[in-house]
Structure 1
Amino acid sequence: MHFDLADLRLFIHIGESPSLTQGARRAFLSPAAASARIKALESQLDTRLLYRDSRGVELTPAGQRLLKHARLIMRQVDYLKCEFTTNDADSAGHIRIFANTTAVTEFLPEVLAGFLAKRPAVTVDLQERMSRDIVRGVLDGSTDMGIIAGPVEATGLQVMHFSTDRLVLVVPAGHMLAGPKPVELKQTLAFQHIGLHEGTTLLSFLRDHVERLGQNFSLRIQVSSFEAICRMVEAGVGIGIIPESAALRHSRTMRLEIVEIDEPWAIRERSILVRELDALPGAVRALIATLMPESVEEGGLTPPDPS
């Protein structure tokens, strides 16, 4: 059985698009040419890969399996090209990262700024995803690495702890919950909360814990950043639960009070997820080393400085 890499890449484009036309456009093919190549692939595999109707295309179970394998194959091809097109293996390439809300908004922008400044030939695709989607993405090869907070159930993946994330409550100065005494989540539910927008990992995480208490999560307004949450809190609009790093930073310029949350889930371990560290291209290993400098000192990862 012979597989054409161009056909596999085309299939990935179609599988990740709502229609065959859009997938074909991403592959720089006409819809008719793309359809003919997919039909030839179906004939070769002797199985149907797509359901086609007026609304677009949908992968069959066989198509889902092929998509998983095709992603892995093409990522390895990309890794191979990267390794042999530059003298400095960690100085070029494309890195795809799935990460949670805190990573995307708090510490990764600064880390990536310094990392990319030293490596002009490296590009990064950073996407905020839910925890379960991060794990699934690393497993099926749709991302090079994942960054997640909290317990990880990831059979078949390497999990590397690199820092700790603590959630705290921010309240306006003089609020009745302010003070040195920690509060439980249920105590905060008597007040209206300021939350992040729909689809963020932190909002989903908090909703899950509120539902376990059998109570309602009263959101007065949803905003796009931790800074916006803090500004709303300072104005007396409500209270909010955010990472301690963000709370400390914004409390320097806003009249806020930070209250410890007395819940076991408030302290969450941050971890990097990969399928196989040694099989990753140099640029990805160098980024992981940047996030885990103590591992570099122990000789476990590629040093981050390409020079």
Structure 2
Amino acid sequence: MKIDLVDLRLFVHVAECSNLTHGAGRAFLSVSAASARIKAMERETGQQLFLRGNRGISLTSAGEVFLRQARLVLRQMDFLADEMLNAEVGHIRLYANTTAVTEFLPEILALFLSDRPGVTVDLQERLTNDIIRSVVDGSADMGIISGEVGNDGLEAIRFSTDRLMLAVPNNHPLSSHDRVQFRQTLDFEHIGLHEGSTLLDFLRHQFRRNGYNRTLRIQVRSFEAMCRIIEAGVGIGIVPESAARRHVQTMDIKLLELEDDWALRDRSVLVRSRKSLPRSALTLIEMLIKTGAGGGRP
């Protein structure tokens, strides 16, 4: 097929924008040139790749396949440039859960990027299922999740553990305990994170399993805000140990271990294939492993 890299980049831009005009603009092409290139791609593949409508365009099933493969080809070209230039350059797309984005990745990425001026990172907070799907289809190079890893054909690299703990006010009825089971907490109001956070999604599953059907008392944007609301006596909440240990030093709260098996989860980096990653991505994975093994915040 006579399809070049300009065509592939255009296709990806248009597919991600669901709009020919916006996609053409991202590719620095006129709308007429972009339209001609897309029609040429459809002739070359013998497939209709887009459905055109009054509200924009959407991918056909063949277009979904083409998008997945186009992303992989473009990423491999970036990786090739990285290797041939003999320097750590390029762009890493990293999707991660709430705890990773807010608790330990900022410090690790700051250290990682300070020595690599040629590398850029696109870090996005996503739900676990979105992270897995994005790594599978090539829209993300790496994903960081906590908990069990499904059989999705991905390579999972464990680098640390994620322990969830219960934070309560120091004068709370549960504060006399050091350890509790999750079901013991269900008689009390719970504080949660914002909609779209991975931890909230995970805990809602545990709430449903245990018959807790009340609305969360309040939802906040950060673990610090959660702990301050708990300190004020509004409710109790489940937070990662890394955040809990930091905030208990400055707030009037107590931390209790959860006896449930699900409270201790593995943290893993997901990739399609470790061998195919560029040097910069491999270095970042090694930093995560080293930090986790050394008892750091991850």
Q: Structure 1, residues 37-59: CA drift from partner, whole Å, max 9, x if none? A: 11111121111111111111111
- The residue type paired with residue 52 of structure 2 is R
**Do 1:189 and 1:216's aligned partners in 2 also have CA atoms closer than 8 Å?**
no
1:68-112 residue CA offsets vs partner (Å, 9 max, x unmatched): 000000000111112223x33xx3221111111111111111111
SS at 2:9 equivalent: helix
2:242 aligned counterpart, secondary structure? helix
Does residue 234 of the first structure (1) align with residue 231 of the second (2)? yes
Deviation at 1:182, TM superposition (A): 2.1
Q: Check whether the contact 1:169–1:242 (CA below 8 A) recurs between aligned residues.
A: yes
Residue 126 of structure 2 is aligned to residue 124 of structure 1: no
Shift of 1:296: 11
Instruction: State the distance in 2 between where 1:106 and 1:112 align.
Output: 12
Which residue does 2:154 correspond to in 1?
A: 157
SS across alignment from 2:230: helix
The one of 254, 278, 285 aligned to 1:281: 278
2:163 maps to 166
Mapped contact 1:10–1:24 kept (Cα < 8 A):
yes
How far apart, CA to CA, are the structure 1 residues paired with 2:81 and 2:134? 22
* Match among 247, 264, 288 for residue 291 of structure 1: 288
With 231-240 and 60-69 compared, the bigger mean Cα shift is at 231-240
Match of 1:224 among 221, 224, 241: 221
Written as runs of structure 1 = structure 2, the 5 A alignment for 1:140-219 is 140-219=137-216
- Structure 1 contact 97–124 (Cα < 8 Å) conserved: yes
The one-letter code matched in structure 2 to 1:82 is: D
Letter in 1 for 2:185: T
- Structure 1 position 295, deviation (Å): 11
After alignment, is 273-282 or 210-219 more displaced?
210-219
The 3-state SS of whatever aligns with 1:186 is helix
Alignment partners' CA distance in 1, 2:99 and 2:288? 14
| 1:16 partner SS | helix
TM-score calculated relative to the size of structure 1: 0.91
Contact 1:50 1:63 in 2 (8 A): yes
| C-alpha contact (below 8 Å) 2:178/2:255 kept by paired residues | no
Question: What letter corresponds to residue 245 of structure 1 in structure 2?
Answer: S
Deviates more, 1:21-30 or 1:145-154: 21-30
SS of residue paired to 1:216: coil
Alpha-carbon deviation of 1:168?
A: 0.6
If the length of structure 2 is used for normalisation, what is the TM-score? 0.94
1:96 match: 93
Change (3 A) 1:188 1:151: same
User: CA separation of 1:296/1:251 partners in 2, compared to 1, >3 Å: closer, same or farther?
Assistant: closer
2:159–2:293 CA contact under 8 A, matched in 1? no
Cα distance in 2 between the residues matched to 1:279 and 1:217 = 47
Assess if the C-alpha contact under 8 Å between 1:135 and 1:154 holds in 2: no
Letter in 1 for 2:65: R
Change (3 A) 1:136 1:94: same
- Aligned counterpart, 1:258: 255
Query: What is the deviation of 1:294?
Result: 8.5
- Unaligned runs of at least 5 residues, structure 2: none
- Quote the RMSD (CA, aligned, Å): 1.8
Structure 2 distance, partners of 1:21, 1:258, is 53
Q: % of aligned pairs identical?
A: 56
Per the alignment, residue 303 of structure 1 pairs with none
SS of equivalent to 1:8: helix
C-alpha contact (below 8 Å) 2:90/2:120 kept by paired residues: yes
Distance 1:77 1:61 in 2: 25
| Mapped partners of 1:42, 1:25: distance in 2 | 20
Q: Which whole-Å deviations, capped at 9, do the CAs of 1:141-179 have from their partners, x for residues lacking one? A: 111111110000133221111101000111111101113
SS of 2:18 mapped into structure 1 = coil
Unaligned runs of 5+ in 1: 298-307
Count of matched residue pairs:
294
2:109 matched residue in structure 1: 112
Q: Distance in 1 between matches of 2:163 and 2:149?
A: 16
Residues 1:288 and 1:95: Cα distance change in structure 2 (over 3 Å): same
- Tell me by how many angstroms 1:31 deviates: 2.4
Match of 1:38, as an amino acid?
A: I
Runs of 4+ in 1 over 3 A off after TM superposition: 294-297
Shift of 1:2: 2.1
Kept in 2, the 8 Å contact 1:191–1:218? The answer is no
CA contact (8 A) 1:100 1:128 kept: yes
Distance 1:278 1:7 in 2: 27
Letter in 2 for 1:183: V
Structure 2 counterpart of 1:60, which letter?
T
